[in-house]
Structure 1
Amino acid sequence: MKRTQKGMTLLSFVIVLAVVGFFAYVAMKLFPMYSEYYSVRAALKGLSDEAGIAQQDPARIQDLFFRRLYINYSENVKKEHVKLKRVDDGWQMDVQYEVRKPLVGNLDVVGKFQTTQMLTRGGGAAN
Structure 2
Amino acid sequence: MKRTQSGMTLIGFILVLAVVGVFIYMGMKLIPMYSEYFAVKQALKELSKEAGITQQDPAKIKDLFFRRLYISYAENVKSENVKIARKDAGYVMTVDYEVRRPLIANIDVVGHFQATQDLRRDGFE
Scaled by the length of structure 1, the TM-score of the pair is: 0.96
Q: In structure 1, what residue type is equivalent to 2:94? A: D
Partner Cα distance (2:122, 2:113) in 1? 25
Q: Which runs of 5+ in 2 are unaligned?
A: none
1:46 is aligned to 2:46: yes
1:22 is aligned to 2:54: no
1:97 is aligned to 2:97: yes
- Give % identity: 66
Q: Which runs of 5+ in 1 are unaligned?
A: none
1:63 is matched with 63
* CA deviation after TM superposition for structure 1 residue 38, in Å: 0.4
Q: In structure 2, what residue type is equivalent to 1:31? A: I
Deviation string, structure 1 residues 67-124 (Cα, Å, up to 9, x no partner): 0001111100000000001001100000000000000000011100001000001436
Aligned length in residues: 125
Q: In structure 2, what residue type is equivalent to 1:21? A: G
Q: In structure 2, what residue type is equivalent to 1:66? A: F
* CA deviation after TM superposition for structure 1 residue 2, in Å: 1.1
Q: In structure 2, what residue type is equivalent to 1:43? A: A
Q: In structure 1, what residue type is equivalent to 2:79? A: K
Deviation string, structure 1 residues 44-77 (Cα, Å, up to 9, x no partner): 0010000000111000000000000011111000
Q: In structure 1, what residue type is equivalent to 2:92? A: Q
* CA deviation after TM superposition for structure 1 residue 3, in Å: 1.0
Partner Cα distance (1:78, 1:66) in 2? 9
Q: Is the 8 A contact 1:117 1:124 kept in 2?
A: no
The 3-state SS of whatever aligns with 1:118 is strand
Q: 1:124 to 1:83 in 2, by over 3 A?
A: farther
Runs of 4+ in structure 1 over 6 Å off: none
Partner Cα distance (1:61, 1:70) in 2? 14
Q: 1:33 to 1:81 in 2, by over 3 A?
A: same
Deviation string, structure 1 residues 26-49 (Cα, Å, up to 9, x no partner): 001001000000000010001000
Scaled by the length of structure 2, the TM-score of the pair is: 0.97
Larger mean Cα displacement after TM superposition, 65-74 or 116-125: 116-125
